[in-house]
Amino acid sequence: MSHPAPDFSPTASRLFRSEEELARLPASERIRYRLVAAERRYHANDNISAFVREGELAELKAEVQAKLQEVLQALVIDTQSDHNTNETAKRVAKMFVREVFAGRYKPAPSVTEFPNVERLNELMIVGPITVRSACSHHMCPIFGKVWIGILPNEHSNLIGLSKYARIADWIMSRPQIQEEAVTMLANELQERVRPDGLAIVMEADHFCMHWRGVKDSESKMTNSVMRGAFLKDANLRREFLSLLARKDSSR
Ligand SMILES: [Zn+2]
């Protein structure tokens, strides 16, 4: 999705704090300050890369590490003599900032969109794409599969098959809620591809269900989004869902 450029103009920041003042704050507060000044939302599954400046990710990682060290301390774990947890805060901070939640901090993957010169107008199905995320409620892993159905028109842009996986990964690498993740992915693809119809199905396993709470071993959740032609045309919807069922059973 394209977002309006944040306003870092001197007038906007002078109203509150100068850049020198901001520089003395921890990176997370600096970034939060810019987000609030620009009236931008920063929920767990929002991308805030436009507000993070060069070098600040390393600072964020150090901050997260220090806080995680306090969490371990609060859990009464002796990270000094326990060689297993000695570096845990550092490892988890890196994992959060650079890996599993990286989709919050890095800009959208660059994907080349091609005009539909062949004027393809047949149903295209991409998937299953393996997706990995974490639930915002418990920060437990979510593992799943995504299928994407696209009905292009002559004005649609086409993107390479592997790029669907890169875009999905960017959106899933954040603390997510499955319903919201599917909608975010649909919005992103709608904007880039501009098809006549767009369908997304996500089936995922939520580890917070296995690991805690009811400890249910069958905890798959399925969500779908249907847009445009997929909403209006029951046959198209059926075609998509039947191809998807067949693809799944052939694995
Ligand atoms: Zn959960």
The alpha carbon of 145 and the centre of ligand 1 are apart by a number of angstroms equal to 17
Q: Residue 125: its pLDDT value, please? A: 94
Which residues, at least 6 apart from 145, have a Cβ–Cβ distance to it below 8 Å? 127, 128, 129, 130, 131, 202, 203, 204, 248
Cα–Cα distance, 36 to 48 (Å, whole number): 12
Q: Residue 6: its pLDDT value, please? A: 58
Tokens (6 digits) for 250: 């052939």
Mean pLDDT (10-residue bins), the chain, 251 residues: 54 63 92 95 98 96 98 98 97 98 96 82 93 96 96 90 95 97 97 96 93 76 95 95 73 44
The alpha carbon of 208 and the centre of ligand 1 are apart by a number of angstroms equal to 5
Cα–Cα distance, 64 to 73 (Å, whole number): 14
The alpha carbon of 106 and the centre of ligand 1 are apart by a number of angstroms equal to 24
Q: Quick one: 240 exposed, middle or buried, by C-beta within 10 A (0-12, 13-18, 19+)?
A: buried
Q: Residue 250: its pLDDT value, please? A: 47
Q: Residue 219: its pLDDT value, please? A: 74
The alpha carbon of 153 and the centre of ligand 1 are apart by a number of angstroms equal to 39
SS3 label, residue 5: coil
Q: Residue 249: its pLDDT value, please? A: 55
The alpha carbon of 175 and the centre of ligand 1 are apart by a number of angstroms equal to 10
End-to-end alpha carbon distance in the chain: 33
The alpha carbon of 46 and the centre of ligand 1 are apart by a number of angstroms equal to 18
Cα–Cα distance, 152 to 147 (Å, whole number): 16
Which residues, at least 6 apart from 19, have a Cβ–Cβ distance to it below 8 Å? 13
pTM (2 d.p.): 0.88
Tokens (6 digits) for 145: 């599969």
Q: Residue 16: its pLDDT value, please? A: 63
Which amino acid makes up residue 103? G
The alpha carbon of 27 and the centre of ligand 1 are apart by a number of angstroms equal to 28
